[in-house]
Amino acid sequence: MSLFISDRQYTREMHEERSYVPVLYESAASRLQHRVFRSEHELGRVLLDSFEVQNHTGSRIDYPLLPDGCCMLVFLLGRTEAQGLFRGVTAKAETLQIPPHSAAFCVRLRPGGAASFIPLPVSDLADRVTPLEHMFRGVTELLTQLRHGESFHERNVLVQRYLTAQDVGQFVPMALVSRCVEVIEEQQGNLRIQELAKTVGCSERYLNRVFQAHAGLSPKLFCELVQLQYCIKHIIATQPKSLLDAAVNFGYFDQAHMNRSFRKFLNCTASDVRSYGRKRAETRGQNTGY
């Protein structure tokens, strides 16, 4: 298994506008496609990105999902049947089980965006997987359309049309939560909750209560996940010789502190992540003849 930050359908302009796009895995047995939703998109205030993992093998794939502070719509599309799931926010690395000769089409929601249209409290859905039929009408028809869709692009269009029909585009995440997410992303997760509360103009107690209710996790935990994601991206992209420098640059006290965070959320060390990235780069070089 190797780590890979998807750059498919991801332009420089998108990167400059929305820097927080969580890390995705890519394995040799699966094909990964990825799309980022820009803010001017009609659903851009709610949707963060979408990705699809295809399993062309005759055995199940356990696709790794890193904790990222996002809720997710998951559509498992097989040859004869399909299933829709809502994955709440999780603070630990998990796997998405993709059956043989199937695909997983996933849509990640902006932190705080799910509370706008999910009929259940987002905080109650943390660390849970719930069938979409329990939340929306017409999901069975949508699943049939997605299963017969001919491309990743078509499936994106189908889901967007469905969500638009559900008036998702009319919902606006709570301004306080959106502002908190913006500040946390600007600081790459490296700030204290006291500083965040002062910046957005509210008490820490109120901030914790509102953020938990709308984003499904505490602002402190979201800061830790954003910090982790940015650090992972840097390590994979640059393959730094000194992990201590990487730790300090991303707000950890030292390398030991960074490794405690990695073990807490990923059950591995920063050195392990660097090795995964190096192996991926070597595999790419062999495949391209470099």
What are the pLDDT digits (tens) for 140-182?
Answer: 999 999 999 999 999 999 999 999 998 888 888 899 999 999 9
Structural domain boundaries, residue 100? 2-170
Q: Rg of the chain over CA atoms, in angstroms?
A: 19
- What is the per-residue pLDDT for 289? 40
226 inside domain: no
Helix or strand (DSSP H, E) at 11: none
- What is the per-residue pLDDT for 120? 87
- What is the per-residue pLDDT for 275? 87
- What is the per-residue pLDDT for 91? 92
119 inside domain: yes
251 inside domain: no
103 inside domain: yes
- What is the per-residue pLDDT for 2? 37
CA–CA gap between residue 87 and residue 94 (Å, rounded):
11
Distances (CA, A) of 95 to 90, 153, 216: 11, 24, 20
Confirm if 31 and 51 have CB atoms less than 8 A apart.
no
How many structural domains does the chain have? 1
Distances (CA, A) of 55 to 74, 189, 278: 15, 34, 24
Query: What is the mean pLDDT of each successive set of 10 residues along the chain, which is 290 residues long?
Result: 39 48 79 91 93 93 93 96 95 93 96 86 93 91 96 97 91 92 96 97 97 96 96 92 94 95 94 80 48
- What is the per-residue pLDDT for 119? 86
207 inside domain: no
188 inside domain: no
Distances (CA, A) of 129 to 1, 31, 105, 122, 124: 24, 24, 15, 12, 11
Give bridge partners of residue 52 from the DSSP assignment: 33, 105
Task: Dump pLDDT digits (tens) for 105-124.
Answer: 999 999 998 887 888 889 99
Q: Nearest 5 degrees, angle CA 247-CA 205-CA 72? A: 60
- What is the per-residue pLDDT for 135? 87
Q: Quote the tokens at residue 154.
A: 């078509």
